[in-house]
Amino acid sequence: MHVTIIDDNKDLLEVLSSSLSDSFTVESFSEPDKGLEFIRNNHTDAILLDLHIPGKDGFQVYEEVKRAKQNLPVLFLTGDSDMGAKVKGLEIGADDFLLKPVQTEELVARIKNRISLSKRNLQNNKVIKFKDLVIDLDGHQVILNNQAVRLTPKEYQLLLVLSQNPNRVIHKDDLIHMLWKDVHVEVNNLDTHFSNLRRKLKPFSTHIKTLKNLGYVLRI
């Protein structure tokens, strides 16, 4: 499991990274913009976010995280015991609100609990929505602007992978492995499927971006 920490206190960042490294793969950032860039383009299972960050408070960062990956668990860390801040954090949808210092055992348990809960919720979610696009997971149906779109099984699988990982670049080799397992498939074959998918999903397809020599990403 991967955890990303954003905290401007570099000493605390080092302590947190070290204490969590036995249980998680940890990425840490003292600058929120660099942390956000990492989150948008890489996989992570949970975020530990400091509430008070100079220049951009934790609530602002939280909103940007949720715009990038709405199902990603976010746990606030703060040295401020102000109940108003805690209530605000929970009201906007934060998954937890922890007062520093927090015991490592408790922190690990809370993170694992939130990751587990998030995965269960994702599995129970029967519909994925992006603006005018709806993916019915039970019926394996795609609806765009209230009209059903007929996709081939591979096109549907590609759209599903991107929609479950919005704003994350999925490498072409990974996509081929996900869809074709051990069968050898040329990259050109994958590109053809994406070309057909884009054609069928116009105008929504402008959100499907190609990163040359890397892969594909659904930008939302």
Domains: count for the chain? 2
Asked whether residue 49 falls in the same domain as residue 70, the answer is: yes
E-state strands within 51-204: 74-78, 96-99, 127-130, 133-136, 141-144, 147-149, 170-171
Angle subtended by helix axes 187-200 and 172-180, to nearest 10? 90
**What is the predicted pLDDT for the residue at 68?**
73
Q: How many CB atoms lie within 10 A of CB 7?
A: 26
Range of the domain at 113: 2-124
**Tokens, residue 18:** 């070290």
Confidence band, pLDDT 50/70/90 cuts, at residue 122: low
Instruction: State whether 113 and 132 are in the same domain.
Output: no
CA-to-CA distance for 220 and 210, rounded, in angstroms?
14
At residue 46, the pLDDT reads 93
The domain boundary residue, chosen from 98, 124, 150: 124
Same domain, 139 and 163: yes
Helices (H), 137-182: 153-163, 172-180
Q: What is the CATH number of the domain that holds 204?
A: 1.10.10.10
> Quick one: tokens of 202?
């116009």
CATH of the domain at 86: 3.40.50.2300
pTM, entire model: 0.59
User: What are the tens digits of pLDDT across the range 159-187?
Assistant: 999 988 888 888 998 899 888 887 888 99
Q: Is the dihedral of CA 169, 171, 172, 177 positive or negative?
A: negative
Q: Please provide the average confidence, as pLDDT, over all residues in the chain.
A: 87
Residues 156 and 187 in one domain: yes
119-135 mean pLDDT: 76
**Cα–Cα distance between 74 and 90 in angstroms, integer?**
10
Same structural domain for residues 148 and 84? no
Give the model's pLDDT for residue 129. Answer: 82
Q: At 93, list the tokens.
A: 């949808």
| Same domain for 106 and 76 | yes
**Confidence band, pLDDT 50/70/90 cuts, at residue 110:** very high
In angstroms, the CA 46 to CA 26 distance is 10
pLDDT band at 105 (very low <50, low <70, confident <90, very high): very high
Per-residue pLDDT at 94: 80
Kindly state whether residues 112 and 162 are assigned to the same domain: no
Domain edge (last residue) among 124, 145, 160: 124
